[in-house]
Amino acid sequence: MSSHLNTLGIILTIVGAYLVWRYLTVISFVDHDEYLKGRGVLTVPDPTPEDVKRYVRSIWLSKLGLALVVVGGLLQIASNYLPK
C-alpha cells in the first residue's frame, strides 16, 4: 500500500510541476521570439475579455499545479509511515 501511495504522490507532483511550469511561466507581456533575439520590447496592451479569461485560467491552473505538488509531496511523506 505504501508503494502505491508513494507512486501516486510522485505522479501528482509531476503533473503539478508541469502545470506550474506551463501556466505560470507564460504570464508575460514580452514578445518571446523578439526578446530571444535581443530585440524585445515590453509592452502592456489593453486587455481584451479573452485576455482576461486566459489570464484567470493560467493563474487558476498554476495554483492547481502548486496544490498538486504539495499534496503529492505529502503523500510521499505519508507513505514512509505506513506499515509495510
Angle between helices 2-24 and 49-79 (to 10 degrees): 160
Res 8: pLDDT: 94
Res 28: pLDDT: 66
* Position 84 in a domain: no
What's the rounded Cα separation, in Å, for the pair 28 and 8?
A: 32
Q: How many domains does the chain have?
A: 1
The better pLDDT of the pair 2, 10 is held by 10
- The residue-averaged pLDDT of 32-42 equals 77
Res 78: pLDDT: 92
* Position 49 in a domain: yes
What's the rounded Cα separation, in Å, for the pair 27 and 51?
A: 11
Res 26: pLDDT: 66
With a cut of 90, say whether residue 42 has pLDDT above it.
no
What's the rounded Cα separation, in Å, for the pair 5 and 11?
A: 10
Q: Domain containing 29: what range?
A: 2-79
